[in-house]
Each structure stands twice: as C-alpha cells, then as structure tokens.
Amino acid sequence: GLKKKEAQIIVVGLDNSGKTTILNRLKPDNEQRHDIVPTIGFTVEQFQTKSLKFTAFDMSGQGRYRNLWEAYYQDCNGIVFVIDSCDRLRLAVAKDELDLLLENEHIRNRRIPILFFANKMDKRDAMSSVKCSAVLGLEEIRDKPWHICASNALTGEGLDEGLSWFADQVK
Ligand code: GTP
Ligand code: MG
C-alpha cells in the first residue's frame, strides 16, 4: 500500500508540563503505559495518525537537561512545545526557554511549525490558551506557522486538534 509520510518532531517544555503523558496518550491503547516518570535525558517515541508516521524526541524539561534540546533542532520538521497552564510562576521560565529556541541558529531562519499545548486544562486553576499565548508573546512569532491548543493529556482532549493542524503544516 501507500507508504505514510514521516515526520520527525521534538517535544520540549518545562519539566512536569506533560510531554511524556501527551506522547503516551497518542499511542494505541495497548501500548500506553500507566507508570510515567520524569524523563531522564530524552527518549524516542513513535506514533501514527491517519496520514503521518511520527518519530518524536521526548526531551526532559529539567533544567540540567535543557541544553540537550538544541542538538535535535536541526533534523526535526516540527516542534511541539508543552506548557503547564496551571504553573503561573514558571510561565516566565517557559518563555525564556521559548525565546532561546526561537533564536537558535537551526530554528531562526526556518519556517518550522510550532504546536503549543496549553496542557492540564482539566485543572480548576488552569489559564486559558489565549492567556498562555499572551504571556508567552506568541503573536510576535511572524515567520513560522504556530498554533496553540488547550489539552488534557490524561483524557487526550485537544490532542487530535493539535495533531491535525500539525499534519497540515508538515505536508
Ligand atoms: P519531564 O519528563 O520531567 O520533562 O516532564 P513531562 O513534561 O514529560 O511531564 P509528565 O508527562 O511526566 O507529567 C508530569 C505530571 O503531570 C504527571 O503526574 C502527569 O500525570 C501530570 N499530567 C500530565 N498531563 C496532565 C493533564 O493534562 N492534566 C493533569 N491533571 N495532569 C497531567
Ligand atoms: Mg517526560
């Protein structure tokens, strides 16, 4: 049959934002884990949508591992940036990391799509995706396609919307 198109993506964002939980939820039910622990360094994960076969670099968000992110920028066709929409205190740290990413030599001059998940939308104190977008200054990203979705990685809500936007961009 027809071979699915492939996309290589890097999944970044602060520790505890939900990156591994999101990727886990995108896998078939029988491959999902119930014991997700903080990522050490990074792992490589695979999942598929109707049209695309994804290879995802699931990076650790812990401070001491964040310098690993940039090693994978060059070879990826897309970026997923996950935000804990309840973590108001560290949204400024997330913005600093995003700004560093946008200035990186392998990102700066490319029209690489960036999908943001304002994750943990199920929590009562979650900020809206509009609010997260404003605090992160996403409107200032003019040279790359970007999109933000509220998500709940525990139920999967919002993930398909994000992924289908992504599939259109990576074509
Ligand atoms: P690092 O690997 O350390 O960078 O963290 P991570 O971004 O991969 O976070 P991880 O997926 O390990 O999730 C951190 C915690 O948040 C876990 O206890 C998850 O169950 C929880 N979590 C993830 N997504 C959601 C969500 O949408 N809602 C709620 N309520 N909890 C979530
Ligand atoms: Mg993780």
Cα-to-centroid distance, 2 and ligand 2 (Å): 33
The token duo for 50 is 């109707």
Residues with CB under 6 A from ligand 1: 13, 15-21, 36, 38-39, 60-62, 82, 119-120, 122-123, 152-154
Cα-to-centroid distance, 46 and ligand 2 (Å): 14
3-state helix, strand, coil in the chain (%, to 5): 35, 25, 40
- Predicted TM-score of the model (pTM): 0.97
Residue ranges with strand state E in the chain = 5-12, 42-48, 52-59, 78-84, 114-119, 146-151
Domain that includes residue 97, residue range: 5-170
Confidence of residue 134 (pLDDT cuts 50, 70, 90): very high
Catalytic residue numbers?
Answer: 62
CA 40 to chain centre: 17
Contact 129, 118 (CB under 8 A): yes
How much is the pLDDT for 51? Answer: 87
15 is in an annotated binding site: yes
Distances (CA, A) of 162 to 13, 77, 119: 16, 15, 12
pLDDT tens digits for range 44-101: 999 999 889 999 999 999 999 999 999 999 999 999 999 999 999 999 999 999 999 9
Cα-to-centroid distance, 17 and ligand 1 (Å): 5
How much is the pLDDT for 156? Answer: 97
Please tell me the total count of domains within the chain: 1
How many whole angstroms separate alpha carbon 26 and alpha carbon 5? 17
How much is the pLDDT for 4? Answer: 85
> 157: domain CATH number?
3.40.50.300
The ipTM (two decimal places) reads: 0.99
Distances (CA, A) of 60 to 11, 26, 72, 76, 129: 9, 18, 13, 17, 23
Does the pLDDT at position 1 exceed 70? no
Does the pLDDT at position 33 exceed 70? yes
Does the pLDDT at position 7 exceed 70? yes
How much is the pLDDT for 2? Answer: 67
How much is the pLDDT for 3? Answer: 79
How many whole angstroms separate alpha carbon 156 and alpha carbon 21? 9
Which residue's alpha carbon is at the smallest distance from atom 1 of ligand 1?
Answer: 15
Q: Which atom of ligand 1 approaches the CA of 82 most closely?
A: 7
67 is in an annotated binding site: no
How many whole angstroms separate alpha carbon 4 and alpha carbon 125? 40
78 is in an annotated binding site: no
